[in-house]
């Protein structure tokens, strides 16, 4: 099959998600909608590019669990033509502006369809007016509180389209990089900006290239498959906009100043301001062209080929990009205390995942096999408790049956351990979804807030603090409940939660799902200051889901976390010692 350009997995998944939204907007068969949503999830989580499978004559897309003939054909069409007639037909039937309403937290396609059909609302501004005129509350399934929630969510919706999750931007960054590396004139290429710093959302992408064949390189960049067109082109800089709206700038710079340009365009702005101030104190000047010694009106170039040269000029070691936010990095660098940041390979196991017993897509055995293939020493199986009815959450009897199966598997396994766990809900009224006598039998209990997220700060904080004081809970999962660009964090006093975690020898999760990354980098750093171990977990719902751990590690690096700060970098023996501290504290 002829493969067109860079139709990567993320792009294919976006198409299927959009098809599902459009079908649901039109009140299509729910089974059909679900098929496209499941297809998007499977493709997004799949570790190997669809293009690689299509290019292999000995393999079929239908060999992927959950990908049937219809989805396989559409994937093939997308990869061979770059488009899909079905999507074009659906888009022609729905105004494009209507889809922006889906950015509002809690606003699904069915609600958007009702607003469009009943009130002729097609834009965020029209929806705001309808809410302010109290028209929305009169619709079936809406209420005064719904109007208030919509008004609160419109501001988030207006900005969410401006920034993309890091993981989504990464797929485009890698595709562009691969596209450019086919150009023989390139000597060096790096993606800079907030992408290189690992921020959880990205506004645009910045590429820096060293090449003597400037025109050839710029022509190659302009020819990127997902480009919607060239916005501007100059002697050394070119800007394109991708079909999804993302702006990408590329600059061609001389090799002698590549390091200085990389520092400058990586940022952050505040980091660069401090750096320039340090240079000025030494009679130097730093900009994107290099480091210069200032002699009156004359400037002498002294460094700039590498980033290390730039930092050395102001008597500092190289500072990792993830730390360049003008927080503590200069203090650490001056005192020789820059942390050795955690690496993905430091993780020894994963302590949050789901199986087909609830809403996972892989069996217990399949999750174990995938974890062992990854080189892990242990995992915890943490299916949902019964409160999460939509995920077929486990009651005590079903959970104990699963634990019996885990015991059976553990007797067979060598050099690997499955921890008997559960993700237990923290109930709206307080307390946990399972009794203490059940939780006492678990190796690992992670507690989470799924319901009642609109409660007051005091209520939610008390629920979480009480859970941390439970002797059987080991950690709090996704502690603020945020979904990037889709749902703001619920109201919680994190300082109070961190104090409770510290006082009870408990842990906090950094959920590596790229839509969550919860705790965020600032909160992770705060948790570290309290001495709380962080658990980087995949929250995987499939055997291919462990790959998201890299996003969690990136977030942890932004927080300045080291291997020592993360609980699941420990061996099983050391992890059990850490868990035991919480049990000993509770027993006193």
Radius of gyration for the alpha carbons in the chain, expressed in angstroms and rounded: 26
109-119 helix and 9-25 helix, angle to the nearest 10 degrees: 50
- Write out the residue range of the structural domain in which residue 353 sits: 344-587
Q: Are residues 558 and 435 in the same domain?
A: yes
Q: What is the DSSP string of 477-542?
A: SSTT--BTTTBPPPP--HHHHHHHHHHTT-EEEEE--TTT-BS-HHHHHHHHHTTPPEEEE--BSS
Kindly indicate the confidence band of residue 8, based on its pLDDT and cuts at 50, 70 and 90: confident
| Parallel/antiparallel/unpaired status of strands 378-381 and 417-425 | parallel
Nearest Cα to Cα of residue 293 among 314, 262, 271, 275:
314
Tell me 227's DSSP state.
Answer: E
Three-state secondary structure call for residue 547: helix
Work out the average pLDDT over 315-325.
Answer: 97
pLDDT per position as a tens digit, 193-243: 999 999 999 989 999 999 999 999 999 999 998 888 898 999 999 999 888
Domain match, 327 and 447 both: no
**Cβ pair 393, 359 in contact under 8 A:** no
334, 353, 386: which is the final residue of a domain?
334
404 and 539 together in one domain: yes
Quick check: is 141 in a domain? yes
**What does the alpha-carbon distance between residue 119 and residue 126 come to, in Å, rounded to a whole number?**
9
62 to each of 3, 9, 39, 72, 75, how far by Cα in Å? Answer: 18, 15, 12, 6, 11
Percentage of the residues of the chain whose pLDDT score is greater than 70: 96
In the structure encoding, which two tokens stand for residue 123, read together?
Answer: 């834009």
- Is residue 53 included in any domain, yes or no? yes
Q: Domain for residue 222, yes or no?
A: yes
Q: Kindly report the pTM of this predicted structure.
A: 0.80
What is the structure's pLDDT at 55? 86
Do 364 and 460 fall into the same domain? yes
Mean pLDDT, the chain, whole residue set: 91
* Ordered alpha helix ranges (H), 413-484: 436-439, 457-469
Same structural domain, 153 and 193: no
**Local confidence band at 488 (pLDDT 50, 70, 90 cut-offs):** confident
Contact 257, 289 (CB under 8 A): yes
Indicate if 321 and 438 belong to the same structural domain.
no
**What is the band of 495 on the pLDDT scale with cuts at 50, 70, 90?**
very high
User: Are 228 and 376 within one domain?
Assistant: no
State whether 152 and 168 are in the same domain.
no
Alpha-carbon 428 to chain mean position: 27
Q: What is the CATH number of the domain that holds 142?
A: 1.10.150.110
Which CATH number goes with the domain that contains 239? 3.30.460.10
462, two tokens: 């008390």
| Averaged pLDDT, 15-42 | 87
Tell which of 334, 366, 396 closes a domain. Answer: 334
Q: Is the pLDDT of residue 160 over 70?
A: no
Does some domain include residue 32?
yes
Q: What domain count does the chain have?
A: 4
- Measuring CA to CA, which residue among 287, 318, 319 is closest to residue 301? 287
Q: Give CA–CA dist 572/588, Å, rounded.
A: 25
Tell me if 339 is assigned to some domain. Answer: no
Looking up residue 328, the CATH number of its domain turns out to be 3.30.210.10
The pLDDT score that the predictor gives to residue 586 is 61
Alpha helices in 98-137 (DSSP H): 109-119, 124-132
- Highest averaged pLDDT of the listed ranges 36-40, 482-486, 527-531: 527-531
- My answer on whether 299 and 356 are in the same domain is no
Q: Is residue 226 part of a domain?
A: yes
Whether residue 449 sits in one domain with residue 351: yes
Give CA separation, 20 vs 224, 395, 486, in Å: 27, 32, 17
Q: Which of the pair, 316 or 64, is modelled with greater confidence?
A: 316
* pLDDT score for 6: 56
**Eight-state DSSP code of residue 81:** H
Residue 523's nearest CA partner among 563, 462, 481 is 481
CA angle 447, 448, 452 (to 5 degrees): 135
Model confidence over 63-102: pLDDT tens digits? 888 888 999 999 999 888 888 899 888 888 887 777 778 7
Laid out side by side, the sheet with 507-511 consists of 349-350, 378-381, 417-425, 444-448, 475-476, 507-511, 534-537
Q: Kindly indicate the confidence band of residue 4, based on its pLDDT and cuts at 50, 70 and 90.
A: very low
Pairwise CA distance, residues 260 & 287, whole Å: 7
Residue 59 CA, distance from chain mean position: 30
- 576 pLDDT band, cuts 50/70/90, is very high
Final residue of a structural domain among 334, 355, 378: 334
Look at 144 and 287; give whichever has higher pLDDT.
Answer: 287
Q: Are residues 199 and 303 in the same domain?
A: no
| Lowest model confidence (mean pLDDT) among 148-157, 162-171, 412-421 | 148-157
Rounded distance between C-alpha atoms, residue 138 and residue 174, angstroms? 48
Distance, CA of 333 to chain centre:
28
- State whether 239 and 266 are in the same domain: no
Q: What is the mean pLDDT of residues 10-21?
A: 86
Is 34 within the bounds of a domain? Answer: yes
How far is residue 93's CA from residue 74's CA, in Å, rounded to a whole number?
20
350 part of a folded domain:
yes
Residues 223 and 131: their CA atoms lie apart, in Å, by 45
Q: Which residues pair with 341 in a beta bridge?
A: 562
The string over 385-419, giving b where at least 16 C-beta atoms fall within 10 Å of a residue's C-beta and e elsewhere, is bbbbeebebbeeebbeebbebbeebeeeeeebbbb
CATH of the domain at 430: 3.20.20.140
Q: Is 539 left (phi over 0), alpha (psi -120 to 50) or beta?
A: left
Q: How far apart are CA 279 and CA 36, in angstroms?
A: 55
> Are 416 and 409 a contacting pair, CB within 8 Å?
no
Cβ–Cβ under 8 Å, residues 54 and 67: no
């Amino acid at each position: 099959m002829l493969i067109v350009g860079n139709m990567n997995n993320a792009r294919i998944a976006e198409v299927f998600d959009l098809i599902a939204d459009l079908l649901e907007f039109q009140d299509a068969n729910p089974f059909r909608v679900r098929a496209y949503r499941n297809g998007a999830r499977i493709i997004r989580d799949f570790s190997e590019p669809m293009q690689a499978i299509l290019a292999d004559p000995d393999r079929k897309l239908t060999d992927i669990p959950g990908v049937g003939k219809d989805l396989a054909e559409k994937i093939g069409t997308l990869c061979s033509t770059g488009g899909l007639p079905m999507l074009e037909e659906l888009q022609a039937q729905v105004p494009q502006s209507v889809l922006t309403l889906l950015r509002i937290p809690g606003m699904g396609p069915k609600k958007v369809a009702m607003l469009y059909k009943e009130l002729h609302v097609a834009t965020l501004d029209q929806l705001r007016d309808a809410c302010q005129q109290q028209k929305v509350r009169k619709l079936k399934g809406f209420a005064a509180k719904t109007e208030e929630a919509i008004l609160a969510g419109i501001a988030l919706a207006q900005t969410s389209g401006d920034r993309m999750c890091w993981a989504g931007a990464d797929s485009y960054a890698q595709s562009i990089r691969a596209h450019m590396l086919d150009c023989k004139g390139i000597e060096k290429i790096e993606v800079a900006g907030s992408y290189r710093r690992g921020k959880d959302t990205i506004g645009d992408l910045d590429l820096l290239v060293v090449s003597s064949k400037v025109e050839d390189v710029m022509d190659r960049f302009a020819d990127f498959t997902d480009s919607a067109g060239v916005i501007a082109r100059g002697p050394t800089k070119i800007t394109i906009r991708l079909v999804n709206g993302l702006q990408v700038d590329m600059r061609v710079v001389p090799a002698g100043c590549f390091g200085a340009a990389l520092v400058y365009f990586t940022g952050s702005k505040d980091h660069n301001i401090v750096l320039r101030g340090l240079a000025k104190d030494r009679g130097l000047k730093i900009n994107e062209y290099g480091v210069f010694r200032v002699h009156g009106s004359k400037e002498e170039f002294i460094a700039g080929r590498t980033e290390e040269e730039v930092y050395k000029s102001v008597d500092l070691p190289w500072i990792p990009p993830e730390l360049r936010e003008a927080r503590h990095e200069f203090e650490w660098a001056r005192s020789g205390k820059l942390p050795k940041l955690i690496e993905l390979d430091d993780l020894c196991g994963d302590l949050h995942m789901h199986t087909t017993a609830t809403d996972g897509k892989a069996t217990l055995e399949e999750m174990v096999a995938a974890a062992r293939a990854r080189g892990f020493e242990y995992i915890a199986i943490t299916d949902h408790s019964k409160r999460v009815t939509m995920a077929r959450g486990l009651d005590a009897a079903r959970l104990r049956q699963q634990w019996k199966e885990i015991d059976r598997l553990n007797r067979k396994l060598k050099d690997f351990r499955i921890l008997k766990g559960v993700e237990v809900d923290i109930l709206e009224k307080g307390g946990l979804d399972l009794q203490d006598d059940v939780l006492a039998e678990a190796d690992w209990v992670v507690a989470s807030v799924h319901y009642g997220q609109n409660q007051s700060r005091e209520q939610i904080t008390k629920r979480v603090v009480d859970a941390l004081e439970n002797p059987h809970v080991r950690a709090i999962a996704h502690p603020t409940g945020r979904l990037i660009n889709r749902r703001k964090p619920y109201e919680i006093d994190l300082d109070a939660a961190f104090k409770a975690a510290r006082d009870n020898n408990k842990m906090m999760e950094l959920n590596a799902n790229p839509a969550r990354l919860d705790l965020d980098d600032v909160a992770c750093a705060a948790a570290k200051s309290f001495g709380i171990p962080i658990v980087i977990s995949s929250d995987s719902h499939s055997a291919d889901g462990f790959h998201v751990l890299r996003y969690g590690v990136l977030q942890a690096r932004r927080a300045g976390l080291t291997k020592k700060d993360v609980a699941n970098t420990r061996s099983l023996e050391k992890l059990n010692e850490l868990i035991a501290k919480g049990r000993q504290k509770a027993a006193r």
